[in-house]
Structure 1
Amino acid sequence: MSHDCSIPVIAEGVYPFDARGIAKRFRHAAIFGALSALQPGETMRFCNDHDPLPLLSQIEMHFGEQVDIRYVSRQPGEIVIDFKVQQG
């Protein structure tokens, strides 16, 4: 399944976050801020040009089971990950 990150996500409660346009020195802070702003049941659809494995480890350590991480696309140069905030 392919996803074009330049096309806004239509689904209610799913918010696009394209990390490619954010300066590298600010990316992690911006991502953590965006995740912290989500309400239970909401999803951030994250787009990047590489697989952010260190970031995923940091998110798991910080948020634990509160955030569900699922790949939408894992093609070279096109990484799309849904981060969904769990209920309660």
Structure 2
Amino acid sequence: MAQTPDLDVRSLAPAQRHSTIFDTWFALAPGEAFVLVNDHDPKPLSYQFAAEHPGEYTWDYEENGPEVWRVRIGKTDNTA
């Protein structure tokens, strides 16, 4: 089984983070995932996914702070 790649956005400017994360997600094939590495809880991002892509993504915390958050974000087979 292939290792899930990390997307570490901690060095990116805050204004670049969401677009980079969504670009990475859009490039996934159904069933694939990446691990988002961030310096804060990306909960607002989960709300954006829920609003814009309901049922099309998975969201699983692997590490929940206090200094590093790791979230496995995947693409389901429900994407158009």
Q: So what's the TM-score if we normalise by structure 2?
A: 0.88
What RMSD, in angstroms, separates the aligned Cα atoms of the two structures? 1.4
Q: Percent identity?
A: 28
Show the 5 A alignment for 1:37-48. 37-48=27-38
Contact 2:4 / 2:35 at 8 angstroms: preserved in 1?
yes
Contact 1:49 / 1:78 at 8 angstroms: preserved in 2?
yes
CA distance in 2, matches of 1:21, 1:42: 24
Secondary structure of residue in 2 paired with 1:70: strand
Structure 2: state its 5+ residue gaps. Answer: none
Contact 1:15 / 1:45 at 8 angstroms: preserved in 2?
yes
Q: Which residue of 1 aligns with 2:69?
A: 79
Task: Say which structure is richer in helix.
Answer: 1
Once superposed, which parts of structure 1, at least 4 consecutive aligned residues long, lie more than 6 Å away? none
Cα deviation, residue 13, structure 1:
5.9
Q: So what's the TM-score if we normalise by structure 1?
A: 0.80
User: How many residue pairs were aligned?
Assistant: 78
Q: Which residue of 2 aligns with 1:53?
A: 43
Secondary structure of residue in 2 paired with 1:20: coil
